[in-house]
Amino acid sequence: MTLTEQASTLLHALGVPGDRYAGGGRAVQSPLTGEIVAEVADAEPAAVLEAVARAHEAFAAWRAVPAPRRGEFVRLLGEELRAAKPALGKLVTIEAGKILTEGLGEVQEMIDICDFAVGLSRQLYGLTIASERTNHRMMEQWHPLGPVGIITAFNFPVAVWAWNAALALVCGNPVIWKPSEKTPLSALAVQALVERVAARFDGAPAHLTSVVIGGREVGERLVDDPRIPLVSATGSTAMGRLVGPRLARRFARAILELGGNNASIVCPSADLALALRAITFAAVGTAGQRCTSLRRLLVHASVYDTFIAQLKRVYAGVRIGNPIADAAVLVGPLIDEAAFHKMQATLAEARKHGAQISGGERVESPEHPSAYYVRPALAEMPAQTGPVMEETFAPILYVMKYSDFDEALELHNGVRQGLSSSIFSTDMREVEKFISFIGSDCGIANVNIGPSGAEIGGAFGGEKETGGGREAGSDAWKAYMRRVTSTINFGHDLPLAQGVKFDIG
Ligand code: NAD
């Protein structure tokens, strides 16, 4: 079967109506072969307005459904996802190019966040607070917020929607999804699964979730619509720089999940065998196209030569290619030609800054000239300058040597991004310092694992130019609700706060 046939078979099995992917002007290219596997239609401006209007109507009904019932809806979604995991995981692989185990892992992440959200639907707790006034009580409640706009990046075409949608739905909010224009098929498949859930569930309003396909302009329509009180936008820092101020202008809430420039420190006491596996997965996994991919490696001088020699050996042997054709592949393709040229330009720039580079070249696929496979690059840098300061969305790992731990910390924090980080050390003083307030300045600081591959139980997101948003676990749900503080007087007098006297006689 051709990839196009495989994609249609999967979309059909997942319940997507054939006319949604068989025309419309926007070609969907699989990075695995460069083949156009489907065509979809962009949402016209009027259709986006309509989707927001329908979501608004759905909100009026959905917020009245008790939260644990809303949790039941999400539980059913988890069930659908369990059944659909093999098909949806493979579709993600075809559309985004990640290896199959990662495609399946992404769907597992959706299932995990659904499970989390079901429990959460009975735990949307507010506080009861002691009042300073006699016979008064204070309390807070968390109420549904309104339709949530979700804008997602190509590299996690389904999981990021689920992080947001599972929470938003139990919190009482409909969602409108603008997926990456590079991965619309997975979004159509997820929407079909939700519609299947809605048909089984008694009391779900129509248009509880919707998908609007298109590029930046479609995203901008969601960003500017006053009926959407929260937009969760995942993508590059360049995108966040435009979206953030637009949302602020209308006082809307933003969850911005933007680019990273993630580093690991390898200390003298590190378990080097463990570090080698962790670092390889973090740097070359998903072909370096995770927001949490490892991009900077700081290695202590005493272990530098040994460790980098081992890393080079692993890099030279890592299997690259089409993961559907060869199950042993660990590194799939870059998303497209533009990503390849960006990678090559970055490597040329790194050379100007003194980089010694191994790898980085194209791995030709003669039968698929429009597919872009590369050997991951190791760039040994004399200093943290030039392209090391930027996120290039490709498998380039900059390696730098350090001799003093505080110097390593300074280099670690000396970039504008602040998503994820990790330390490899068995020295508890270094470890504790790294995760302390004077250590890593990132939203994620790991110990003896790489910076990528987060679980849904923790709050996910980063600081500085990564945008400051938090999604998924812990108390990230609070961003999807509005808090009401109430003071209740059960007495007959009216004492005022702070002892203020106001006697009207
Ligand atoms: P991108 O910024 O090109 O696009 C992301 C999404 O934003 C797409 O849906 C796009 O259409 C939309 N968009 C772009 N400009 C917009 C605008 N002005 N208004 C509204 N919407 C707009 O990113 P990409 O190439 O798809 O993904 C890679 C980037 O995403 C990397 O920088 C990566 O680090 C980041 N990312 C971050 C996280 C995270 O959680 N921090 C997760 C995944 C990816």
Q: Which residues contact 481 (CB under 8 A, 6 or more apart)?
A: 124, 142, 143, 144, 145, 171, 172
| Cα(59)–Cα(61) distance, integer angstroms | 5
Secondary structure of residue 456 in the 3-state scheme? coil
Question: Is the distance from CB of 329 to CB of 340 less than 8 angstroms?
Answer: no
Which residue carries 């990456």 as its tokens? 180
Q: Whose CA is nearest to atom 1 of ligand 1?
A: 235
Give how far the C-alpha of residue 115 lies from the chain's centroid of Cα atoms, to the nearest Å.
18
pLDDT of residue 278: 98
Rounded-to-integer distance, Cα 338 and Cα 95, Å: 16
Q: Describe the chain by its helix, strand, coil percentages, rounded to 5.
A: 40, 20, 40
Pocket test for ligand 1, best of 234, 262, 343, 415 (most atoms within 8 A of CB): 234
- The residue whose CA has the least distance to atom 9 of ligand 1 is 180
Amino acid at 359: G
Cα–Cα distance, 144 to 477 (Å, whole number): 11
Q: Which atom of ligand 1 is nearest to the CA of 233?
A: 7
Contacts of 277 (CB under 8 A, 6+ apart): none
39-258+467-485: in CATH 3.40.605.10: yes
How far is the C-alpha of 56 from the C-alpha of 267, rounded, in Å? Answer: 53
In ligand 1, the atom with minimum distance to the C-alpha of 467 is: 41
- What is the model's pTM? 0.98
- Ligand 1 binding pocket mutation candidate from 155, 211, 242, 334 (most atoms within 8 A of CB): 155
CA of 249 to the centre of ligand 1 (A): 20
Helices then strands, each counted (H, E), the chain:
13, 23
Q: Give the separation between CA 204 and CA 72, rounded to whole angstroms.
A: 11
> For the structural domain made of 262-455, what CATH number should be given?
3.40.309.10
Residue 10, classed as helix, strand or coil, is helix
On whether the CB atoms of residues 103 and 450 are closer than 8 A, the answer is no
Task: Assign 370 to helix, strand or coil.
Answer: coil
Probe residue for ligand 1, chosen from 102, 236, 237, 246 as the CB with the greatest number of ligand atoms within 8 Å = 236
Strand partners, 25: 41
Distance CA 32, CA 110 (A): 23
pLDDT tens digits, one per residue of 44-53:
999 999 999 9
**Ligand 1 — pocket residues by CB below 6 A?**
151-156, 178, 180-181, 215-216, 219-220, 223, 234-236, 239, 242-243, 257-260, 291, 391, 393, 419, 466
Whether 486 and 140 have beta carbons less than 8 Å apart is answered as: yes
Q: What 3-state DSSP class applies to 324?
A: coil
d(CA 485, CA 126): 9
Dihedral sign, Cα of residue 96, residue 101, residue 103, residue 106:
negative
Give me ligand 1 centre to Cα 324, in Å. 26
Q: Which amino acid is at 373?
A: Y
From the alpha carbon of 154, which atom of ligand 1 is closest? 26
Q: What pLDDT was estimated at residue 365? A: 86
**Residues assigned a catalytic role:** 257, 291
Q: How far apart are CA 215 and CA 389, in angstroms?
A: 28
Which ligand 1 atom lies nearest to the CA of residue 259?
Answer: 34
Question: How high is the mean pLDDT in each 10-residue block of the chain (505 residues)?
Answer: 96 98 96 97 98 98 98 98 98 98 98 98 98 98 98 98 98 98 98 97 97 98 98 98 98 98 98 98 98 98 98 97 95 98 98 98 93 98 98 98 98 98 98 98 98 97 98 98 98 97 93
Please name which of 132, 152, 127 lies closest in space to residue 219, comparing C-alpha atoms.
152
Question: Could you say which DSSP state residue 495 is in?
Answer: P
* CA 71 – ligand 1 centroid, Å: 29
Spatial separation of the C-alpha atoms in residues 98 and 330, rounded to whole Å: 9
**What DSSP character marks residue 320?**
B
* Domain positions in the chain: 39-258+467-485, 262-455
β-strands 175-178, 209-211 pairing? parallel
Please tell me the distance between residue 366's alpha carbon and the centre of ligand 1 in angstroms.
Answer: 31
To 10 degrees, the CA torsion angle through 364, 366, 368, 371? 10
